[in-house]
Chain A
Amino acid sequence: MVHDAVKAVDRRLRSRTGRAAALICGLALLGGCGGSGHSKPPAFPTTGAGVGTSIRTANCSDWQRGPVEARRRTVVLLRGFAGGPIGSSSGIQNGPVLDDTRAYRVLESYCANHFARGFKLYKLYERAAAFTGH
């Protein structure tokens, strides 16, 4: 069942790739970042500012207000944040992280809900990362 669950996620991931890419491109256009005309979104940026004032405090309201490029940068920052040292007695050294594209989709999807406006992005990210393979 675990493997089935993983496969189910991957199936969903694949089936939604096209729609998600369109969504990202659409938001990029609306966000004033310019449309490249390419079907494949550019790499997630490793420099620049993310949404909100800090990665620890950024929430879904910040995400919704932020331009697409800042959101994409936030995903990279969250990867660094979530992948930090754990200080474990079990041998685990670092926290789990998500694939950037997947992380973007999870945050897009969750933050579209009004009730999530106060959700901290890192809390959403780290929960999702923990359960990617659940």
Chain B
Amino acid sequence: MWSSVRFGGSVDRSHRLFIAVAAALLSALLLPTLASAHVERASYWPDPAPDCSVHPCAGGTVPTARSLSSALSTSGAGTTRVVCQPDSLTRAQQSIASAESTGYVVRPTQGRQKLSASAGSALLAVNRDLFSRCAFNSIQDAVTQSGNNDRVVIMPGLYTEPKSRAALTHDPACAKYTITNDRGNASAVSYAYQFHCPNDQNLIAVLGRAPGPKPPPQPPLSDRHGIPDLGPCIRCNLQMEGSGVSADDVVIDAGRVASGDSAPIGPVKDVGIRADRADGFVLRNVKVRHAGEHDIYVLESDGYLLDRFKTFYGGEYGVLTFVEDHGLMQNCEAAGNGDSGLYPGAGADTGNQRDVTIYPKFRYSQEMRNCDSHHNAGGYSGTDGNATHVHHNNFYDNALGFTTDVFTAPGHPGFPQDSDLIENNNFYSNNFNPYAAGSDVVPSVPLPVGTGLWIAGGNDNVIRNNRFYDNWRRGVMIFAVPDQFVCGPAGSIDPSQLAGCNPSAIPPSTSYRNQLYGNVMGRAPNGTVAPNGTGDVATGRTDFWWDQYLGNTGNCWHDNVGKAGTAASVTSTPPAPFLPSACNSSSMGTVGPQQEPELLNCLADIEFKTSTCPWFTTPSKP
């Protein structure tokens, strides 16, 4: 494509140098100064036990959403604060009428849903009552005044939060709250920073707890179980929701409003909605877009529910949940994000690699269901995303439908990634090329266009009963991220440059015991044949692709069917019978002669070429 034409192997080095220098000079002249992002603090998994200092207890389980109509009740826990704009009621009326006549969309693959006349009347009555109680035009103001168990109801409208936008970014007055993080960076924004300067980084900030009585430990603790500087609940069990028919009715925009649900994003703040240490947080029925980094960001919280939401065109992620426990996101749509649409990262490590003194029983700490993630660089990302149950979702029109990995393990507690259950999803038509000239998505990460799913350095994951089809490069990739080289191969790394190394970490600790079974490959739900790749083993354009990393054991593929509806029609690299079907130690990697060079050429070559790395060129349609 564009890049291979301009910078392909036929162009000599001096020509490339000239172009690079010219591009650099042009960039310096033409590009605006980018908004500066914040350095994140070292983060810790929350205590998985409920906090019963508030009633009902916060955390310990996924919170249950309270009904919209109950926001009008004067009984029950918490106070409701209503946010609106002058035309909110008119918008509500129009939206309800439209939903009754033509329907509304929760997520694209579900189609339009119609609202019954009785449901429409009831919803309009609720909105009329809410409108009469409206006392805020700023969501942040309503959140700031809220306490434990309170509710913020946002009526239909477009919310740009002018006061938040006007708040300084990197306010010098807040600099006293910076700390040193786990990377040794002394300018990380602490929880106290967020608490005292909530709109420095965020358009809307929900700070669930007061800062702890003691400052966070410096340097950060190596054991990330338990938040060391946790304060008391001040805004736990907060529920924030839109009162419209669907998420489309309440739009929260952290950037360029004129772009609508598209690009350019023109971010004003790094984060759209931040829920930090907000145990029991519920967010539903809103759309968030155009944040510089994450449209929705949930951090260090025990118990969250994100429901019926949409995120569009975040610079990095539509949703990032990080070091969470007891989390659920559902009924959602995510599109246009530079890294991934949905990212449950570094979830509580409650799977096979758990610390049994903290998590006695195996359980899934995160769940994602009934979501559509499309037209992103990646549909799903889960760096060190542990014990996540992903089911009944659709990942399509991304470059890579799904990635869980350990590439960026530092700063992401829970290495190695493990114990996801990925079932009953559709991964299809992930052939979007954000690397092509003119793409509306600016990718922040290198991914192989045309791929359904990869697990890069994960253990004990189960991928079953899914459909993978029409992914033009390949369906599923499983490969190791070799941590035994942390001390450097054959002396090519100067040991004095290493922050630490573990030469005893041999064999590698990643890419073991992953099971793939019951999947339908190369066939759409309606029976249409839509292959993953061409079936060519030499180029690895097959349903399954395994790197056969030396010494990896327990990875297995069985009871899958290919485009003809038979096991024999499954294509794989390596081809059968070298792709193991047994899930025991007889499954052992013996090195993949084609696979290793591809990973090397695309991820670590000192002279990167699109002629040797095919990932950024759209594969031919099989």
Contacts and interface: CB of A to CB of B under 8 A. Distances in A.
Contacts of B443: 115, 118-119
B158 interface: no
A108 B509 CA distance: 31
Contact of A96 (B446, B483, B610): B483
Given A81-B183, A81-B410, A112 B16 contact: yes
A87 B603 contact: no
A65 interface: yes
A56 B37 contact: yes
Interface in B444-490: 444-446, 457, 480-486, 488-490
A12 B606 contact: yes
Interface in A78-110: 79-100, 102, 105-106, 108-110
Interface residues of B, number: 92
Given A12-B606, A94-B499, A122-B408, A80 B445 contact: no
Contact of A134 (B36, B408, B442, B482): B482
Interface residues of A, number: 75
Interface in B479-529: 480-486, 488-490, 492-494, 497-502, 504-505, 509
B509 A9 contact: no
B166 interface: no
B256 interface: no
A126 B600 CA distance: 13
Contacts of A133: 482, 484-485, 488-489
A89 to B, nearest CB: 5
Contacts of B504: 91
B499 A83 contact: yes
Contacts of B183: 55, 80-81, 84
B493 A98 contact: yes
Contacts of B147: none
B436 A87 contact: no
A30 B485 CA distance: 36
B137 interface: no
Interface in B588-610: 591-593, 596-597, 599-600, 603-608, 610
A57 interface: yes
A65 B494 contact: no
Given A54-B37, A64-B24, A113 B184 contact: no
Interface of B: 2-3, 6-7, 13, 16-17, 19-21, 23-24, 27-28, 31, 34, 36-40, 182-185, 187, 220, 222-224, 338, 349, 353, 355, 406-416, 435-437, 442-446, 457, 480-486, 488-490, 492-494, 497-502, 504-505, 509, 550, 591-593, 596-597, 599-600, 603-608, 610, 616
5 contacts: A56-B40, A65-B27, A82-B410, A123-B408, A134-B599
